[in-house]
């Protein structure tokens, strides 16, 4: 037996202590506990696509995995063919021309890019503007940079868009970076051309780099295709857009995405990734290119599935007293909690009594505390059953 008095509990770096608490970890533990008790849980609280990756994309990976070229280290910034495929997709879908060499960076999923960009631009004490409610991993990157976060409230009265005129003049003047996200997680709202024009003007005026999180860019309802930020004149001068294949092609576990837009920001992302990674496995890059350049009917079918699920859910909610607006994009619904409750209380009640999981809105920011997020990530029958279970509680 060693007589060493060495203390095996190491002191973490201060940046680790600045990381925000993972709000949804406790929710996952509650769900796990109920599962172990044998309850039938309808889990609508996650953002994990429930459909498989289309077969032609899987087949592409299977064939590419046998290619000895991909058993070697890939190029640091990724294969040119994937960047060219991304450029073709953007031109076909949005009419946006991109230089594959200077305006596209390959990412290990969109989340990585959203966190990395803070490390690229923010120094300790710098200011970053973030939506409230918004995707919590924006906060993580800002915390790791030691920067200051200023919330931009998203309210129903303003169609869940930030009001740039309401941002304090000092905050606007000090801001170096800003996140926007449409179709929006968690509210399911979308943005129009006028909003993006206002965003470019605001960014130009205050010299702010814009990051458009376009994770749900393919998912728009009622015949309306979501707009890309880069369709706006001047957008490339002020920012980038981050796209992931996770939602469009049900490739969440594949961890592949890309950033597009301003060349100086793309250069910084490639530089920081040179120190973290040696790019994605080549077989995955080939399959991602096949997804982007191949037939897109699988995307159309997926969007149709989500729209049918949305309509089934809201049809089931009719007459229950739970009133909410249908989302215009993404696969999330943003539903108000009953009077007198906050989002965590309501989520706990329906989990314990109805065995339905929803995400408390407060986990996305203080302005989310009167809402819960529900994902359209279960078959229509299960969505109807979830609505019926919640309605039976008589909370509305």
Cis peptide before 11 (omega within 30 of 0): no
Spatial distance between the Cα atoms of 26 and 394, rounded to a whole number of angstroms:
26
Q: Report yes or no: 233 and 200 within 8 Å, Cβ to Cβ.
A: yes
Q: Does residue 10 lie within any of the structural domains?
A: no
Q: Does residue 269 lie within any of the structural domains?
A: yes
Q: What are phi and psi of 147, to 5 degrees?
A: -95, 175
Q: Report yes or no: 60 and 287 within 8 Å, Cβ to Cβ.
A: yes
Enclosing H/E stretch for 106? strand 104-107
**Residues 222-242 as b or e (16 or more Cβ within 10 Å = b):** eeeebbbbbebeebbebbbbb
> Are 190 and 311 in a shared domain?
no
Domain count, the chain: 2
Tell me the CATH number at 131.
Answer: 3.40.640.10
Burial of 386 (0-12, 13-18, 19+ CB in 10 A): buried
Q: Mapping DSSP to helix (H, G, I), strand (E, B) and coil, where does residue 175 land? A: strand
Would you state the torsion angle of the CA atoms of residues 235, 236, 240, 242, taken in this order, to the nearest 10 degrees?
80
pLDDT, tens digit only, all 396 positions of the chain: 555 666 678 888 888 888 887 777 777 888 888 888 888 999 999 889 999 999 999 999 999 999 999 999 999 999 999 999 999 999 999 999 999 999 999 999 999 999 999 999 999 999 999 999 999 999 999 999 999 999 999 999 999 999 999 999 999 999 999 999 999 999 999 999 999 999 999 999 999 999 999 999 999 999 999 999 999 999 999 999 999 999 999 999 999 999 999 999 999 999 999 999 889 999 999 999 999 999 999 999 999 999 999 999 999 999 888 999 999 999 999 999 999 999 999 999 999 999 999 999 999 999 999 999 999 999 999 999 999 999 999 998
Burial of 279 (0-12, 13-18, 19+ CB in 10 A): buried
Q: What is the largest CA-CA distance in the chain?
A: 72
User: What's the pTM?
Assistant: 0.94
Spatial distance between the Cα atoms of 242 and 212, rounded to a whole number of angstroms:
6
> Are 34 and 59 in a shared domain?
no
Q: Does residue 3 lie within any of the structural domains?
A: no
Q: Report yes or no: 119 and 126 within 8 Å, Cβ to Cβ.
A: no
Q: How many residues does this entry show for the chain?
A: 396
Tell me the CATH number at 355.
Answer: 3.90.1150.10
Give the domain-ending residue among 259, 293, 327: 293
> Are 279 and 309 in a shared domain?
no
Angle of helix 110-121 relative to helix 137-144, nearest 10 degrees?
30
Rounded to the nearest angstrom, the gap between the alpha carbon of residue 341 and the centroid of all alpha carbons in its chain is 27
Q: Does residue 368 lie within any of the structural domains?
A: yes
Strand partners, 332: 375
Q: What pLDDT was estimated at residue 11? A: 87
> Are 25 and 81 in a shared domain?
no
Give the domain-ending residue among 246, 262, 293: 293
> Are 202 and 322 in a shared domain?
no
Q: What pLDDT was estimated at residue 148? A: 96
Q: Does residue 9 lie within any of the structural domains?
A: no
Q: Does residue 90 lie within any of the structural domains?
A: yes
Tokens of 326: 């249908």
> Are 369 and 341 in a shared domain?
yes
Give the domain-ending residue among 270, 293, 316: 293
Nearest to 251 by CA among 225, 305, 289: 289
> Are 81 and 182 in a shared domain?
yes
> Are 247 and 344 in a shared domain?
no
Q: Report yes or no: 222 and 328 within 8 Å, Cβ to Cβ.
A: yes
Spatial distance between the Cα atoms of 159 and 171, rounded to a whole number of angstroms:
23
> Are 69 and 183 in a shared domain?
yes
> Are 245 and 105 in a shared domain?
yes
Q: Report yes or no: 243 and 211 within 8 Å, Cβ to Cβ.
A: no
> Are 308 and 238 in a shared domain?
no
Q: Does residue 87 lie within any of the structural domains?
A: yes
Q: Does residue 286 lie within any of the structural domains?
A: yes
CA distances from 73 to 69, 70, 79, 154 (A): 9, 7, 11, 44
DSSP code at position 31: H
Q: What pLDDT was estimated at residue 30? A: 82
DSSP code at position 318: T
> Are 319 and 170 in a shared domain?
no
Q: What are phi and psi of 47, to 5 degrees?
A: -115, 35
Tokens of 237: 């001068």
What domain range is 41 assigned to?
A: 21-50+298-391
């Amino acid at each position: 037996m060693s007589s060493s008095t060495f203390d095996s509990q190491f002191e973490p770096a201060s940046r680790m202590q600045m990381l925000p608490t993972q709000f949804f970890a406790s929710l996952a533990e509650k769900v796990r506990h109920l599962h172990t008790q044998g309850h039938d849980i309808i889990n609508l609280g996650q953002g994990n696509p429930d459909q498989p990756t289309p077969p032609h994309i899987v087949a592409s990976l299977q064939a590419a995995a046998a290619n000895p070229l991909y058993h070697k280290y890939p190029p640091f910034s990724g294969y040119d063919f994937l960047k060219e495929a991304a450029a073709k997709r953007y031109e076909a879908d949005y009419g946006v021309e991109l230089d594959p060499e200077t305006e596209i960076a390959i990412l290990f999923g969109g989340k990585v890019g959203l966190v990395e960009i803070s490390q690229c631009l923010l120094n300790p004490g710098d200011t970053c503007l973030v939506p409230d409610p918004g995707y919590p991993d924006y906060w993580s990157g800002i915390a790791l940079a030691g920067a200051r976060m200023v919330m931009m409230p998203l309210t129903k009265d303003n169609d869940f868009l930030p009001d740039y005129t309401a941002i304090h003049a000092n905050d606007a003047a000090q801001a170096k970076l800003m996140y926007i996200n449409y179709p929006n997680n968690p509210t399911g709202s979308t943005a129009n051309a006028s909003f993006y024009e206002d965003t470019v003007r605001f960014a130009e005026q205050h010299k702010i780099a814009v990051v458009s999180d376009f994770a749900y860019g393919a998912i728009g309802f009622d015949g309306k295709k979501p707009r890309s930020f880069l369709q706006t004149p001047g957008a490339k001068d002020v920012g980038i857009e981050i796209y992931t294949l996770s939602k469009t092609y049900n490739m969440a576990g594949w961890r592949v995405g890309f950033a597009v837009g301003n060349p100086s920001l793309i250069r910084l992302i490639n530089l920081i990734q040179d120190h973290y990674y040696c790019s994605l496995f080549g077989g995955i890059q080939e399959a991602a290119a096949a997804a982007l350049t191949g037939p897109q009917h699988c995307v159309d079918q997926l969007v149709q599935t989500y729209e049918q699920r949305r309509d089934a859910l809201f049809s089931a909610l009719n007459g229950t007293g739970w009133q909410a607006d249908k989302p215009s994009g993404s696969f999330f619904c943003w539903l108000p909690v009953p009077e007198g409750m906050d989002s965590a209380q309501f989520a706990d009640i329906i989990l314990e009594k109805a065995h339905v999981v929803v995400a408390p809105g407060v986990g996305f920011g203080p302005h989310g505390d009167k809402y819960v997020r529900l994902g359209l990530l279960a078959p229509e029958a299960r969505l109807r059953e979830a609505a019926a279970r919640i309605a039976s509680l008589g909370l509305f």
